[in-house]
Structure formats: structure tokens, C-alpha cells
Amino acid sequence: MKIYQGIDIVGISKFRNIALKNKSFMSDIFTEKEREYCLSRKDPHIHFAGRFAVKEASLKALGIGMSGAGVDHSFQEIETVPGPSGKPALSFTGWVKKMSRKRKINQLTVSISHSSDYAVASVILVGADKN
């Protein structure tokens, strides 16, 4: 078994300013389900910032980061939605899913926390040994 872990922290006021200045930012970065969920909350930007942190933490866990080849559309390929219990559930599609298959990932775990100032996310991926 191999364990991959990524963590990211986002300043909420900085995130809010970027989102308000760039009209297409939310639709470029977040899936329709993510936008629906966040916009249904009292302060959507806190929840958007948490999901943005998940996207970055996922790329870090995969060992790609923000500068890897193919990363251009990866934000739309990493989706965080509430599971049946409300706990966030993480899924990958497209190129990100291909990268996770390459690493033989068979379990995805995500945790999100936020305060009035910061949102943080931790992503743990479990994969089979490459042997």
C-alpha cells in the first residue's frame, strides 16, 4: 500500500477578491455541483475557498502540483460534493483520474475546515504498491 497526502490553505478574503474581480473564475474552476452547493450556503466564498484548497491539495497528493503537464483543465476534474452524511466526498475525472489510475489509487479521503480567515483542506490517497 502507498499513501499520498496533500494539504493546502487558502486566505478567504484574498480568494473572495479574486472571485469578485474575475467574472468567469467560478465557472472556470468549479463544477456545476460545487457551485450549486456553495451558492446554497450563507457565505458561499468560505465554501468555495475550501473546495479550491481541495483541488490544490489533490494535485499535491498526486505529485503534480500546479505546474504539471495537463494541469490546465484539472480543476474541473476534481470535484468535492457532500456525501449522504454531509461529509465531503471527492471524485476525479478526465486527466486527473488517469493520473490517479497511474498511481493505482483506490481510496480518496478529504477533509475541509474553515474559519472566517482561512480554509484548509487535506487529501489522502491510498494506492496499491506499483509492483
Structure pTM?
0.91
Domain CATH code at residue 109: 3.90.470.20
- Residue 61: predicted pLDDT: 95
- Residue 66: predicted pLDDT: 62
Q: How many domains does the chain have?
A: 1
Q: Domain containing 109: what range?
A: 2-127
Helix, strand or coil, per DSSP, at residue 86 = coil
Contact 11, 69 (CB under 8 A): no
Can you tell me the distance from the alpha carbon of 39 to that of 124, in angstroms, rounded to the nearest whole number? 26
Classify residue 59 as exposed, middle or buried by CB count within 10 Å of its CB (0-12, 13-18, 19+): buried
Q: Mean pLDDT in runs of 10 for the chain (131 residues)?
A: 95 95 92 96 95 96 70 85 91 93 94 95 91 57
DSSP state of 88: E
- Residue 69: predicted pLDDT: 52
